[in-house]
Amino acid sequence: MSLASESARGKRQIVERSAQAERELREAWRHTLARINPDIARFLTKMASAPGINLTYLLDRGRLAKLQATVGQGMQGFAAHAAVIVGQSQRDAANLGDAITQIQLAATVPDNVAWNFLPARHAALSQIEHALTSDSRVARLLQSLDPQAQARLRRLLTQAILDGQGPRQTAAAIQQALDMSLSRALTIARTETLVAYRGAQLANFRANSDVVSGWIWMATAGACPDCADEDGTEHALGDDMETHPNCRCTCVPQTRSWSDILGAAGIGGDDM
């Protein structure tokens, strides 16, 4: 198997793993909405039947506060579930990156040469574990969905009343505002899954610096213009892959010339 085909296979697998996390998130989101929506529907029906709807009505008897609390509870449940989904996806991605990178590296070795590459499992996984601890970026991002969703809800309902919008219009706007939370969660899952994969790739490359001199950026068809420009560019082994949210780019190892590597290891060209 060639390096190019192994790299492409790894990319297909990691994109599929990331898509699986997205499917799980959508399913969790469906459950969350099913719990929140009846309360919102009831609220809007009441609002429609009450004459002279105004902000006072919205704030009276804790109506808005109750609705916000319902949304808040739903979002907290979603965030907790999402953290589990994203965490599992990250762990799988790190393992996949580990396994695929060993195969990528093996694919660079000339025929008739036996060469063992050092694993980087520990380094890669501890990096991923760190990303999963409670004060991690991922956890913080997911927890922030709740206050943001509550703030959007408040803004929307207030604006809907000021604008004199009907319940149906308001309901659609609320739905849209909440869906922003799903789309953020999807972005987090996609981004962090690929970050874990690349982390495992680079950790493996660096564990084998006697052979690997750097890495080459591998973009996907349909990548953003910045990433398309980076496609095929060479980077030093110590460089991290600086990408953007939702990026699906991965990297390919760049090895020193195998005659140099074998010469340095005391193996003559004749032995090849």
Q: Which residues contact 92 (CB under 8 A, 6 or more apart)?
A: 17
Residue closer to Zn ion, measured from CB, 83 or 247:
247
Is 189 a binding residue for Zn ion by CB under 5 A? The answer is no
In the chain, how many H helices and how many E strands? 9, 3
- Region binding Zn ion by CB under 5 A among candidate stretches 21-29, 75-83, 242-250, 261-269: 242-250
Residue closer to Zn ion, measured from CB, 150 or 243:
243
Residue 231 Cβ vs Zn ion, minimum distance, rounded to whole Å: 9
What is the end-to-end Cα distance of the chain in Å, rounded? 19
89, 193 Cβ separation under 8 angstroms: yes
3-state secondary structure of 253: strand
Is 153 a binding residue for Zn ion by CB under 5 A? The answer is no
Using CB under 5 A, pick the residue from 178, 249, 252, 262 that binds Zn ion: 249
Q: How many residues lie near Zn ion (CB under 5 A)?
A: 4
- Region binding Zn ion by CB under 5 A among candidate stretches 21-29, 72-80, 130-138, 217-225: 217-225
Provide the token pair at 222: 């349909």
- Region binding Zn ion by CB under 5 A among candidate stretches 8-16, 153-161, 209-217, 226-234: 226-234
Using CB under 5 A, pick the residue from 36, 85, 173, 227 that binds Zn ion: 227
Residue closer to Zn ion, measured from CB, 64 or 247:
247
Residue 99 Cβ vs Zn ion, minimum distance, rounded to whole Å: 22
Kindly identify the residues of this chain, within the stretch 35-74, that bind Zn ion according to CB under 5 A: none
Is 247 a binding residue for Zn ion by CB under 5 A? The answer is yes
Provide the token pair at 198: 């690349």
HSE toward the beta carbon, residue 98, CA cutoff 13 A: 17
Instruction: Determine the residue with CB nearest Zn ion.
Output: 227
What single string gives the DSSP state of each residue in 147-160? HHHHHHHHHHHHHH
d(CA 137, CA 59): 35
Cα dist from 227 to 3, 98, 233, 245, 246, whole Å: 21, 23, 10, 12, 11
- Region binding Zn ion by CB under 5 A among candidate stretches 150-158, 198-206, 209-217, 248-256: 248-256
Residue closer to Zn ion, measured from CB, 209 or 233:
233
Residue 198 Cβ vs Zn ion, minimum distance, rounded to whole Å: 10
Burial class (CB in 10 A: 0-12, 13-18, 19+), 256: middle
Q: Which residues contact 116 (CB under 8 A, 6 or more apart)?
A: none
Residue 148 Cβ vs Zn ion, minimum distance, rounded to whole Å: 26
Residue closer to Zn ion, measured from CB, 125 or 194:
194
Residue closer to Zn ion, measured from CB, 81 or 198:
198
By the criterion CB under 5 A, which residues form the site for Zn ion? 223, 227, 247, 249
